[in-house]
Amino acid sequence: MNPAFMLICTLFSYAQGLICNECVPHALDGSCSATKVQCTGVCSNSVMIAIDGSQKSSVHTQDCETPNQCQNSSFNFGTSKIVLTTKCCTTDLCNSGSFTASLNDTQNGRKCFSCSATDCNSTVNCVGNEDRCIKAIVDSGGLKKMMKGCVTKNSCLGDFLTNMGYADVRCCKGNLCNGASGVVQSILLLAISFISYIFH
């Protein structure tokens, strides 16, 4: 085959983008119907695990993402935690099927302040790739709540959290660098914001 023709075909294929499976839950029960979409980025396959005390739930999604959204994120607030595992690929319909995400509970030596039911003087041991402490304010119907705990660095970059509706987001690197004072956090608010942003 003519090399020039092959190059033209390759460039045309790239310009057209990929065909990806899209299965985005519209409810917390994880239900959705899969469709095929034209994608200018990459295909993604994600699992979000939410833990609140002894309760654990997971939501699976297939979608089209930009390459910078192909990241694994963890928000750890002690008794509550949200972990997002994303796998991306670059061939048509490569995000078919599902996978099982695992949780890394190995402590990494970092410690951050977190919020209990009454104040934000509690602490949490960071695990896995949680390499930053975070404090952020979320506004729910005019009621401001403080979120504190451990987080992965990539979740602090750019507008990742501010696009989820968080204000005054501050991430820091040292142990207990996110301050002790504050008001009570709500994992439900975080989960709803997280789902609405990630599973758009």
Edge-to-edge strands, sheet with 80-89: 55-65, 42-52, 80-89, 73-76, 143-151, 132-140, 166-172
Q: How far apart are CA 58 and CA 81, in angstroms?
A: 12
Query: With pLDDT > 90 as the criterion, what percentage of the chain qualifies?
Result: 34
Q: What is the pLDDT of residue 36?
A: 94
The pLDDT tens digits of the residues spanning 77-114 come to: 887 888 999 999 999 999 988 888 888 999 999 999 99
Q: How far apart are CA 81 and CA 31, in angstroms?
A: 22
Looking at residues 175-195, what average pLDDT do you find?
Answer: 60
Looking at residues 179-196, what average pLDDT do you find?
Answer: 52
The pLDDT tens digits of the residues spanning 9-61 come to: 333 344 457 999 999 776 556 667 789 999 989 999 999 898 888 888 888 89
Q: What is the pLDDT of residue 147?
A: 82
Chain centroid to Cα 18, Å, comes to 23
Q: Which two tokens stand for residue 79?
A: 């008794």
The pLDDT tens digits of the residues spanning 138-174 come to: 776 777 778 899 999 988 876 666 666 667 788 999 9
**SS3 assignment for 121-176:** CEEEEEECCCCEEEEEEEEECCEEEEEEEEECHHHHCCCCCHHHCEEEEEEECCCC
Q: Which two tokens stand for residue 157?
A: 């970059």
Q: What CATH number has the domain spanning 107-198?
A: 2.10.60.10
Q: What is the pLDDT of residue 180?
A: 62
All structural domains of the chain with their residue ranges: 17-89, 107-198
pTM score: 0.74
* 103 SS3 class: coil
